[in-house]
Structure 1
Amino acid sequence: MADVFPFRGYRYNPEKVDDLNNVVTQPYDKINAELQAEYYEKSPYNIVRLILGKEENRYQSAAEKLDNWLNNNVLIRDEEAGFYLYTQEYVVEGKKFVRRGFIGLGKLESGEGVKAHENTMEGPKADRLNLIRATEANFGHIFMLYADEKNEINNLFTEIMQNEPLIEVSDEDHNLHKVWHITDPKIVDQVSSKMKDKNLYIADGHHRYQTALNFQYECKEKGWKADGVESFNNRLMTFINMDDPGLKVLPTHRLLYGIENFNLESFLERAAEDFGIYDFNNKEELYDFLDDNKEKTVFGFKAAEEGTYRGFEFKNEDILEEIQGDFSKEYAELDVSILHKLILEKYLGIDEKALAAKTNLDYIRYRDQALKALAEKDYQAAFILNSTSVKEVKEIADLGEKMPQKSTDFYPKLLTGLVINKLSIKK
């Protein structure tokens, strides 16, 4: 059961910030040092100064800046509670898609109430917990999926989308983000009612969700009370229908580095025991191989030291039991499971500890960029993957299991700074 609530969000005041393109950002975990510097240059009010500041005492600095922006009406609160329709127009492989969702507050549920599909790491959770302790605010969204085959909830928004949006911005990839404020009581009630029987699945924001639960626990331990829906019991979320044709999951490719005594010939010999290996003259032939075999477990492979492109097709079903371990058959059959447990760990010695320490693997979104990085930087090899499906995400989450790191890329990301939730707490 999903409890979702309309709320009075905080937004940038157009009288103080005339171009929202200069103040919104990618989620904090997608911001590297270069992008952070770019955001700082764009505006003294860029949200990066709150979510990922440069200061040594950045959590306290974020709290002080937030208070200053609120007191000086840089951020203003909407007068009416409502949901916020959020659409994203984007292009993948030359095709245009429109993804629809709505922003609201979702009730925090521990245990099986909300289903996750990825593991979390302690470092990011500690970082986000320090930020919410200091600011008592939700800046970034949690990307939540729900199932609605008839598209009943999205259909409620069709007429609203004909109106001028409240917010319209573009991101670094030229994707168009639009937001409308939904205050019609009838539509608000229908959305809340139709969401009641839905299960929620975290698509993106696992660390933020766990952090919200940890903060909720801290508040209750201190005897603090929630003051209305905009409190520590609920969290800022964007809800997206997993049956929406505008929802796409992109693969995340792997770049190998720092493997001592990496020997291509012996690696290929070992791989040939479990995979059919095909040679291609160029990347286009490799891409065709991947695109034509999406129902099979296949990978693209390119070593930096040679010009040949290779396709791997998994053949050894007998080894699945070894990969499975304590997990389900569905988990063992995932492309990313076979890549991580067999190729990376068994063949190359990159175990979970090494993955957590980020000592041998980098991740990159587009396959062209992966191959370009392989040619230009100090990488040893690239592994090119097909996408994990939304169906697989749901299956693994329903089984209570967690996929390997970077198994999914729900593109485009939800921008930070469109709508903010300031927590109301009685201490």
Structure 2
Amino acid sequence: MADIKPFRAWRYNPTLSGNIDELTSPLFDVVSDKQRKALYKNPHNSIYLSVPQQPDASNKAHLLLEEWKTKGIIIQDKLPAIYVYYQYFKLAGSTKEFCRKGFISNIRAYNWNENVVLRHENTIPSAVNDRIELLEKTELNVSPTHGLYTDTNHILERYMDEAILHPLYESEDYQGVKDVLAVIHDAAIISIFIELIKGKKIILADGHHRYEGSLAYREKMTKSNPAHTGEEGYNFHLMYLTNTESDDIRILPTHRLIKGINDFNEQEILNKLEQHFIIKVLDDADTANEIIVGKQWAFALLFKENTYKVRLKPEALTSMTWPFPDAVKKLDLTVMHYFIIEKVLGIPGKEQRQSNNITFDRSFGDCLTKVISEEAQMAIITNEVSIEEVKSVCASGYTMPQKSTYFYPKVICGFVFSSIKEEEFKSPVYSPF
């Protein structure tokens, strides 16, 4: 099953990491233009490796990385390790503090058909190409993707809890989340991690583009290396692994914004919806997201002047012609993309991934603002996806609609970097790994 390895992380020089908050950055696919501009003001911020500036971005990242290594801006740890990573956070409207517990290691990059690492979403090709080019130039995994394993006995948590008592870093990130990193060097304990994960399948929660970038790069390098053994650095990928059985796995909803549809007409949309949905006018748009919470196949539709709650009639599901198993058909998001976006708005399912008419926003407030300001013609507000739904879809061998899940909080970039350059990847002679 899943093969993980400890690694010797490249980390910021202690003379810099005392202000680690100033060196971390959001992941490449969530960082805003405003955040990027602010982060670029610090010449040592990790944003320069994860989202290098155009033009010739990947070459710039490569040259800067070599400069950082030469000047000691970043230093490689001498011992292979597993890095424990805890994220302490709260959710809006709750006083409870959650703690998502996990660890960062290298993991073998498995093709999807090997059925070891399971995807639940499709990717956007242009974003994958960007990640391949950056990986090829730098030979560096700049930030870990997020994977899920299942262990009902919580065997690894006791070792992680012990390690986190002696943190390397503590930081408050852009999400308001407290990020804490610790390290495990003990070979006996690392072996327990390796053996436990060996018996698991891994659900890829976040980072599909980066993971596919690793797959593509591994394939290219394998073909070009006649002495390929399967143990070279390019066969591995950096991943943050958390337990699905934790109470602190949180998935936030991602809403759909619709714009640029010709002859857009609110009344015609409602007329078409009546065939399959029960429609209720809402007096207050500000609470529309709260009204649909926990209700299967229920959505809030925001227009400039009006707001509606719509809920699919149960018998309507049998009319869905998309050839999916029930685990996928019964998802709120599948219902949304089929009955609302395809059947009512007229955007065929095969075109939705590339459609300029659909954008995504996890903030209900942003959706409301964009509709009122006419930046969008309408918003479709949805419920969150459960971890059990993610498991069911992965087990079916199918994927969810794009942008189905937003695992919260996001992992940050800048704590550890993992090199796949052979002389930096391979374990030193004094290591049992």
TM-score greater than 0.5 by the shorter chain:
yes
- The alignment partner of 2:360 has SS state of strand
CA gap of 1:286–1:121, structure 2 versus 1, over 3 A, is closer
Q: Is the 8 A contact 2:301 2:381 kept in 1?
A: yes
Query: Using the alignment, how far apart are the partners of 1:387 and 1:107 within structure 2?
Result: 30
- The alignment partner of 2:43 has SS state of coil
CA gap of 1:99–1:135, structure 2 versus 1, over 3 A, is same
TM-score of the pair, normalised by structure 2:
0.92
Query: Using the alignment, how far apart are the partners of 1:67 and 1:214 within structure 2?
Result: 24
Q: Tell me how far 1:204 sits from its aligned partner.
A: 0.8
TM-score of the pair, normalised by structure 1:
0.93
- The alignment partner of 1:215 has SS state of helix
Question: Match for residue 45 of structure 2?
Answer: 46
Question: Match for residue 339 of structure 1?
Answer: 336
Moved more, 125-134 or 149-158: 149-158
Question: Match for residue 382 of structure 1?
Answer: 379
Q: Tell me how far 1:147 sits from its aligned partner.
A: 0.8
Q: Tell me how far 1:352 sits from its aligned partner.
A: 4.2
Where do residues 96-135 of structure 1 align in structure 2 (5 Å cutoff)?
96-110=97-111, 111=113, 112-135=115-138
What is the letter of the counterpart of residue 182 of structure 1?
Answer: I
Q: Is the 8 A contact 2:276 2:316 kept in 1?
A: no
Query: Using the alignment, how far apart are the partners of 1:13 and 1:224 within structure 2?
Result: 37
What is the letter of the counterpart of residue 190 of structure 2?
Answer: V
Question: Match for residue 317 of structure 1?
Answer: 315
Question: Match for residue 65 of structure 1?
Answer: 64
- The alignment partner of 2:279 has SS state of strand
Question: Match for residue 141 of structure 1?
Answer: 144
Please give the per-residue CA displacement for 1:277-332, whole angstroms capped at 9, x wherever unaligned.
Answer: 122211465344212xx25111111111x1x3321111043444424x22112211
Q: Tell me how far 1:267 sits from its aligned partner.
A: 0.7
Question: Match for residue 180 of structure 1?
Answer: 182
Query: Using the alignment, how far apart are the partners of 2:133 and 2:365 within structure 1?
Result: 37
Please give the per-residue CA displacement for 1:246-291, whole angstroms capped at 9, x wherever unaligned.
Answer: 1100000111111111111111111121111122211465344212
Q: Does 1:364 align with 2:332?
A: no
Structure 1: give runs of 5+ residues left out of the alignment. none
Please give the per-residue CA displacement for 1:83-106, whole angstroms capped at 9, x wherever unaligned.
Answer: 011011111123321101100011
Q: Tell me how far 1:230 sits from its aligned partner.
A: 7.1
Q: Does 1:223 align with 2:225?
A: yes
- The alignment partner of 1:158 has SS state of helix
- The alignment partner of 1:255 has SS state of strand
What is the letter of the counterpart of residue 199 of structure 1?
Answer: K
Query: Using the alignment, how far apart are the partners of 2:232 and 2:418 within structure 1?
Result: 7
Q: Is the 8 A contact 2:327 2:396 kept in 1?
A: no
Question: Match for residue 26 of structure 2?
Answer: 26
Query: Using the alignment, how far apart are the partners of 1:47 and 1:12 within structure 2?
Result: 10
What is the letter of the counterpart of residue 331 of structure 1?
Answer: V
Question: Match for residue 281 of structure 1?
Answer: 283
Moved more, 295-304 or 382-391: 295-304
Where do residues 189-268 of structure 1 align in structure 2 (5 Å cutoff)?
189-223=191-225, 231-268=233-270
What is the letter of the counterpart of residue 234 of structure 2?
Answer: F
Query: Using the alignment, how far apart are the partners of 2:207 and 2:57 within structure 1?
Result: 21
Q: Could you list the runs of 4 or more consecutive aligned residues of structure 1 that deviate by over 6 angstroms after TM superposition?
A: 226-230
Query: Using the alignment, how far apart are the partners of 1:263 and 1:240 within structure 2?
Result: 45
Question: Match for residue 85 of structure 1?
Answer: 84
Query: Using the alignment, how far apart are the partners of 2:231 and 2:37 within structure 1?
Result: 35
Q: Is the 8 A contact 1:249 1:387 kept in 2?
A: yes
Structure 2: give runs of 5+ residues left out of the alignment. 424-433
User: What is the aligned-residue identity percentage?
Assistant: 28
Q: Is the 8 A contact 1:230 1:422 kept in 2?
A: no
Query: Using the alignment, how far apart are the partners of 2:372 and 2:22 within structure 1?
Result: 33
Please give the per-residue CA displacement for 1:323-375, whole angstroms capped at 9, x wherever unaligned.
Answer: 4x221122111111111111011111223465333411221112223213322
Question: Match for residue 421 of structure 2?
Answer: 424
Q: Is the 8 A contact 1:301 1:311 kept in 2?
A: yes
Where do residues 389-400 of structure 1 align in structure 2 (5 Å cutoff)?
389-400=386-397
CA gap of 1:424–1:229, structure 2 versus 1, over 3 A, is farther
